[in-house]
Amino acid sequence: MTPAELVTAFVALFTLLNPVGGIPVFLALTETESREGRNGVAFVASVAVAVILLVAMFLGSAILAVMHIELDAFRLAGMVVIIGMALSMLNASPSGVKQAPGEHQEAIDRSSVAVVPLALPVLAGPGSISAVIIVATRTSGWREWILEVVIILLNAAAAYGILRIAPRLGRMLGTTGMNVLTRLFGLLLLAIGLGGAAEALKALFPGLG
């Protein structure tokens, strides 16, 4: 991978995780926690995100093979999920794909919310998991595998850093600021999703090319 491709891969995964968009959920789920408690939840959530994505990266292809799912069909399905998330983000609203309406209230009553629902599915949702599996199927050579692992770990670290300063970011950006960022991420995601869907359609239906 070239430096430009590395930056693109990092930004794409960061946009899919969208930790900024997860700030309101994080603050709501940890509203009774102390500062240390919130930091602890943020750390566990970021570690869980890394583990979830790494497992998807290394085992995703095997799971597809066992279930006899064609890669291009999975790519198209993953891009449809990403497009749905992007359209939801363009409306500055949480994606129903990532968290069902009833899950939020249920999660507030739990003693630990770091893994479920914060890490999965608020941060590491179907879109990011699908994207990691798709990239892994195209990865060859140990150097590229290491780079993919580094990108995942850097994104998990970035999510941790953002969640740690979530209270300050929430006050500084306000609802309008976070909505603007969410819409920007949504626009980037829509471009990624449409491009990936077009490639998958061409592979499934060569006559379209």
Give the start-to-end residue ranges of the domains of the chain.
3-208
CB contact at 8 A, 131 and 82: yes
pLDDT of residue 112: 66
**Please, what is the angle between helix 166-204 and helix 3-17, to 10°?**
110
Give the span between the Cα atoms of 52 and 133, in whole angstroms.
11
pLDDT of residue 31: 84
Give the span between the Cα atoms of 164 and 132, in whole angstroms.
25
Backbone angles phi, psi at 30, to 5 degrees: -120, 25
Low-confidence ranges of the chain (pLDDT < 50): 95-97, 106-111
Give the span between the Cα atoms of 201 and 76, in whole angstroms.
7
Kind and range of the H or E element at 203? helix 166-204
**CA-closest candidate to residue 81, choices 194, 180, 181:** 194
pLDDT of residue 207: 78
pLDDT of residue 111: 44
* pTM listed for this prediction: 0.81
